[in-house]
Amino acid sequence: MLWMKARYHVGSESIHPGVYGHFTTSAVGRRVEQVLRRALERHHPTPYLFNAHLRTVILHVLMYGSPPPQGLQRRWFSVEGQHIALDVLLPKGSPKGVVLLLHGLNGDTNEPYVIDMYKECQTRGFIGCGMLGRGLAGSPFNGGPQDTFSPGRISDVLAVVNMLHSCTSLPVYLVGWSLGGVIAANLVARLWEMFDSKCAVELWHPILAFELKRSLLWRMVSLTGYEPEPKDWYYTCNDLLGVEAAVGAPAHGFDSVWDYYRAMSADDEGRCRDIAVPTLIIHAVDDPVMHVYLAGPKYDDGRDDNSQCLFAVITPSGGHLGFPQGWTPWTTGFGWISNTALDFADAVMSSDHD
């Protein structure tokens, strides 16, 4: 843990907790500022978790096996000849919006943080719609390695967003955790001129080499017959860079792992400055996996060309997709993240009606 802290500069004093964004230039900015400041005020981290690793893992352990909400219905949607699953939960009354949920790398729509969001959506009047990508979590798949799930591919999510818009006049919101957040940010950064969803929320969790091999790449290799080099990649590639250089990048047609990373990066060639959809990033200073400096807009560098629609709330602690709250974190679960995301959506919606 000390090595991790030194390696990733956890707790860097150069990054200060707070809220970031252009708050005074628009009605939505002013509303968002109020929402984010209230989120920080109600952020009461569990006092006896003494490092970021415990804050990261505790809720995933305590909330593991949480039952999915009753009424969840699975629907199938075809994109480019592949099967995309949509797990839909309707609110009890008239819905006020649709929230498309993008889970993290080693999960699916049964992850406890997704289940928590489903419940909050239902309580607050949103349709929760969890997306399960091509071939993930045992879903049907056909084709070659280039057709498998890739975080650099945004066409699947865009097709689902367009389908939702064609089915309803309700606003569509996008929430992503970790790798799902990468895809969400990439989508709004690359397609700002045509993307009319109201907001996107980016939440991150650990991208670990073992989980990448176990939960995603091993299934891809088994389904498609793809033969990575080296042949003993499962045992010899023990870090994220090595795994993706050996399997992820070449399987999807990239010449190098760096081209692969650029394809999934929202800020490649400065695209973040083009984001025209209100977008929120939630991050903790003590994140032990993704350095906080890389995760949000930098408004302390004197530049005025940052996106007017990109906001961030940075907490003093919380780990990586953790944020346990109070002395009994199992009673609140992932509620702080879920409610902050939906409060942001409400702020954007309210501004649209001003």
- Cis status, amide bond into 230, omega within 30 of 0: yes
Q: Which two tokens stand for residue 283?
A: 């991050």
- Position 1 scores a pLDDT of 34
Identify the pLDDT of residue 91: 93
Which residues are bridge partners to 86 per DSSP? 75, 131
Rounded-to-integer distance, Cα 153 and Cα 182, Å: 11
Q: What pTM was computed for the model? A: 0.77
Q: Which CATH superfamily is domain 2-207+266-352 in?
A: Alpha/Beta hydrolase fold, catalytic domain (3.40.50.1820)
Residue 271: the pLDDT is 55
Active site residues: 178, 287, 320
Residue numbers of the chain with a pLDDT score lower than 50: 1-12, 193-198, 202-207, 210, 300-302, 353-354
Measured CA distances, 320 to 262, 291, 292 (Å): 23, 10, 10
**Contacts by 246-250, CB closer than 8 A, 24 or more apart:** 247/217, 247/220, 247/221, 248/150, 248/212, 248/217
Neighbours of 67 (CB within 10 A): 7
Residue 215: both structure tokens together: 């939960």
Query: What does the pLDDT read at residue 209?
Result: 53
